[in-house]
A and B are shown apart, each in its own frame.
Chain A
Amino acid sequence: MKGIVFTEFLELVESKFGLEMVDQIITQSELVSGGSYTSIGTYEFGEMLQLISNLSKNTEVSTDDLLLAYGEHFFNVIETSYPQMLAMYQGPIEMLASIENHIHVEVKKIYHDAELPTFTIIEQTENTLSMIYQSSRSMHMFGLGLMNRTFKHFNAAAEIRHEKLKDDGTEVQFSIKMI
């Protein structure tokens, strides 16, 4: 997993819960990296799982909610680092529909070793989009956070429903309706 995902996560934790919480979750987790992350490095996904579950334990906030909040926060990174990519889209539906065929392709160009989820589009109209998330990471809530912020970015609102097609969360259907 790319370093930037860790550094951003820890920054978020620090801003919401303080440096002590950061220190605590790192100390609680068994991390090969020792908790020193740089955005340009690459780290085990297992480290992220430990950090999130420890944060959930300490704060009594569910991992799903944490991932959602984190996804929303992570959109800021995209907005500041890749504004030209966002500028290519006229609206949120168009942008979300291009995740698989365009955005992830571009991401792969910058980070060759990035491991990305798959989004399969089931149905698309002008104002609705239905697609299936697939990833062994089960981080669909992170995706939902990004989606929420996408609509906000385009000054639009949406009703986004998600339904686990597999209990472990490795396959989730998103039904998006712009309002």
Chain B
Amino acid sequence: MQTPQSDVYQRALARERNARKEAERILEAKSTELYHLTQALTQSNAKLEVLLQEKKSELSGLIHHILDPYILVDLDGNIIKLNKAAVELFDYDNLIKKAGKVNLIHLVSPEDRMRLSTAFMDMVEDGYIKEIEVKITAADGTVRDLQINASVLYDNNNNPTAAQGIARDITALKQLEAQKDKLYEKLESQNEELNEYAHVVSHDLKSPLRSVNALIQWIKTDDKNVFDPSMDQYFGMIDKSVKKMENLISDILRYSKSEVDYSEETLVNVGDLISEVQEHIDVPANISIVIESQMPTVQVQKGKLEQVIQNLMTNAIKFTPQADGLITWKYKSVDGKHQFAIRDNGIGIEEKYFDKIFKVFQSLKASEHSTGIGLSIVKKVLISMGGEIWLQSTLGKGTTFYFTLPQS
């Protein structure tokens, strides 16, 4: 069966044509598909571009307007970008005009360069550095202290590409700190001097008193026969004055030392401490002492609180002369503070003296309202402990002293 040659060719040709059309159709469909895909990609690309641009300008606006100097450098420390604050601080425009390229290291004082480059290497290694302090000479010629926080920037493959840092001008802070330290040192040495002074003064004041006392004794014994009773009385008065003087000197010494206690704070049960103090002082038979409330345990320097309690107790006893003398301790917690009260039913104090009794030079003067220097010491010690003291009193009925201590 022989097919005519031309028919075979025609059919082959037709098949080829069809195949070509089929191929074109397929390619067309593919290219349409590709076109749509490209369209979609272009669109999302454009969206991303807009987003990126937005973020970029947000970021650069942010960086530009940050008040602290911001610097972007490459991994060799060459400056890539600065914000306005940095340009002004370092007079960057001038530097770049002179040198063409500026390295971070040239911004800081020569003595800090080694330290900065070490810190920079640490940063490249660890990814960041915190609170590195360097000195720089600013555009206006002043030397400034900067505190730098910086971090490494990485690309998509996590390779370090650059570093950014923000510097804070802490010059004023540093100066204040230095001033504070100086002041504190001065205060401390003054305090020391004052204590020393009080000590020497009291020593020097006491010596002549001893002499006076001895001399009086000698006169009294050696010239016994020529004495008349009135002279004896005068000598007694001299004796008393000398003793009073001695007490005043001791009080001043005590006052000047009252805050100087650097012992550790311990937990102290106030009730136990009151009982302890009570045993050490002479409580006359006419006085009953009652602790009415449950007393707290406080964290204090025990010696100081002891001094407070002892002075207040002695004071209360001194001004409660009647037969049924009663001293009461009370406690409550008020506004986050420990508040203690010691009440007596003694002679009371007139309100006009309420302030005076805490003043050291007021109470030193001999007066019937004087309670000695004890209360000034109490006030001084309490203030040093972060506490307060005040009183209520009615003449003839008694006095209540209140004092507070902070609750840790």
Contact = CB atoms under 8 A, between A and B. Distances in A.
B243 interface: no
Contact of A40 (B9, B16, B26): B26
Interface residues of A, number: 16
A35 interface: yes
A37 B18 CA distance: 8
A34 B19 CA distance: 10
B23 A40 contact: yes
A41 B22 CA distance: 8
Contacts of B8: 19-20, 23
A67 to B, nearest CB: 23
A136 B18 CA distance: 30
A36 B24 CA distance: 13
A129 interface: no
Interface string B1-45: 001010011011011111110110011000000000000000000
A40 B27 contact: yes
Nearest to B7: A23
Contacts of B5: 20
B19 A36 contact: yes
Contact of A38 (B12, B14, B22): B22
Nearest to B10: A23
A144 interface: no
Nearest to A27: B11
Contacts of B15: 26, 34-37
Contacts of A23: 3, 8, 11-12
Given A34-B18, A38-B19, A20 B26 contact: no
Contacts of B20: 38
Contact of A20 (B3, B16, B19, B22): B3
Contact of B18 (A19, A22, A27, A36): A36
A24 interface: yes
Nearest to A14: B12
Given A19-B9, A23-B11, A26-B15, A38 B23 contact: yes
A36 B16 contact: yes
A175 to B, nearest CB: 40
Interface of A: 7, 19-20, 22-24, 26-27, 34-41
Interface of B: 3, 5, 8-9, 11-12, 14-20, 22-23, 26-27
Q: Which 3 A-B pairs have the closest CB atoms?
A: A36-B18, A38-B23, A36-B19
Given A20-B3, A23-B8, A41-B26, 11 more contacts: A22-B12, A24-B3, A26-B11, A26-B15, A35-B15, A36-B15, A36-B18, A38-B20, A38-B23, A40-B23, A41-B22
